[in-house]
Structure 1
Amino acid sequence: MTANPPPSHLSTPGLVDSHIHPDKTSWGGAWMSRRPASTLAELIENDRASQFSFDLSVEERAFALLSHAVENGTLAMRAHVDVSPEIGLANVEGVRAAAERLAPFLTVQIVAFPQFGLLTNPGALDAMAAALDAGADLVGGIDPVGIEHDLHGHLDAVFGLADQKGRDLDIHLHDGGETGLEEIREIAARTIAGGRQGRVTIGHAFALCDTSLPSLGRTLDAVAEAGIWIATCALGPDPVPDIDLLERHGVRLVAGSDGVRDSWSPFGTASMVDRAHLLGYRTGAMTDADLERVFRLASTAGGEMLGLPEIADWSGADSGTRLEFEAEHVAQLVVDRPAPVRVLRDGREVPRG
């Protein structure tokens, strides 16, 4: 009787979660029962109510989630962390403390995120400025029209704060339709005018997912010219982009988890292999090339966005920063979704547990 051959070991670049909310997670704590919500405003109000109901601290919950992400191969992430007059700096300080406990294995960029409004929430802009002095890295934003009802006022505020503090921007944009595309073109114009090419990200950008919109093509061209990154999460019923179309226009795309088991959704694992699988499934990936592409969006593309050459310019199986899987091929890896058997950063192996 012939013994089965040992599993093949596949080495890959490290994974990057380019859009995640670790301060909102219930990971590591008791089960959270979610309240129904059918609109973005209702989801945000549910989120606001949950912020002060957790038994565990932000640091404890974020550390539990981030630790799990690292064990599953995530070596860097862009973390959107709520800042408001009610919350103050507590969430930024908690996520930063959790991230520091995982150094040197995990790089975390924190976005100061005005989830509950900026212009519509008095004191929020001052809280954002304070957060950037207390451990946040980037300036965040939230639907200038849909939430703030003032396209130019909101963008004046966030771009002005970015200029004042010398920071990059990462703006949530759920607004759809031609309104959403108009917002995106305005962000692109301001990006170019300020010489910020390559330093601005738009999260979700649902309007870019609607191929029926007349101005989609010129909006994609404007995004590409501005070097804006688009972060997609393939979450639940949310729209997903036509990846082929974005690539033809030269738009750079990355992938993220978004919320992981928070008040918005009971789902999420913080595994970017899982997220690549979901993105491939949602976008109809079929060929090996399709599956390899969604893996790149969850790894090297994110490394480029975050400015991490050891991931973006991965040198191969001999690299000191790599993941090892029991798999034959990246396409198989994306479909089967195994956890890595080894995770290494700069030659140091991540200890289990």
Structure 2
Amino acid sequence: MTTSPVIPIRNVYYMLSYAFRALQEQQYRKLATESFDNIADLCAAILIQGMATQIKRGLSREYVSHADELDSPRGKIEITESVRKVTMSRKRLICTVDDFTVDSQANRIIKSTMLMLSHADISRDRKTRLRQLLACLNDVRRIDLRRTDWNIRYDRNNQTYRMLIGICHLTVRGLLQSSQPGRTLLMDFLDDQQMCRIYEKFLFGYYSHEWRDRINTTHHRIPWMVDGGEDSLLPVMQPDVVLNDGRDVLIIDAKYYTRTMQRNFGRYKMHSANLYQMFTYVKNKTAQLAAVGDTRAVSGMLLYAKTDEERQPDGEFDMGGNVIAVRTLDLDQDFPVIAGQLDDVVARYFPDTMPLA
């Protein structure tokens, strides 16, 4: 039977708040205490709060080009098109005009997602609130979200849209789909790679925020420590999380799989490719530090999102002087318990950073 990590809806907000740091701003904090019928209801609540704030600030605008048949030339005159359509005989010209408008791609995506949510299985109050906000978007066109371009260019004027577009993308792709009341299976529509990306961002966001005063959290690439030769053909080593307290280093790779173990002929085995990957990360990081006389201990951890499989990966191995651990994170718990599991990782590998009892 295929299993998937199970996450209570109440925890999805917390995961998203670390993946999208904007959700930790004051106007969103009350969402942590609200109850939601399902994940669509949660996404609707986030968009309602975000767009209510954005409308007060002012919707983002951008220049949008369109062609019009005009009496008075404006913008770029399209001579060829005007001749082809014989508009000059009517003393009119076809011109391409750039208008500075709220009918931007970002606003179109948000409006279209809100319209979709207004017909979804969400609370009546949120449907009403969505329709009230949609009335403020009358100058924004609806688009087909199945075929739209999600690549939005962000600048200092529209940075507040980054998280909102991310939530729209999750909603449209069916990333968070309820499987039973109060719980959600995060594997119903997206594959392991797409699901793992949210899990990765959550882990990185948690450590970079909650431990920022004691531990440096990065995800820099690890160079291949090759002795001469061309390394451009080698794969990029990009760990998900690297924790460093100045004395020790821990490399964490997030794994979000339907099956956390391999089973052959009735015997469970850990995913060999994941172990090889982490072994390579740890050994090259150790060599990189040693090249500059740095003797910090480097360890590695594969951190799987726990499923309800019969057997879960768990173990710690000394491989040639480096410790490599395989652990699971149980996301089907109250969030303080999840946070405690993540803090226990710090306690195990960075004991000197822990506060005194």
The alignment's TM-score, normalised by the length of structure 1, stands at: 0.29
> Which gives a bigger RCO, structure 1 or 2 (Cα 8 Å, sep 6+)?
1
The normalised TM-score by structure 2 is 0.29
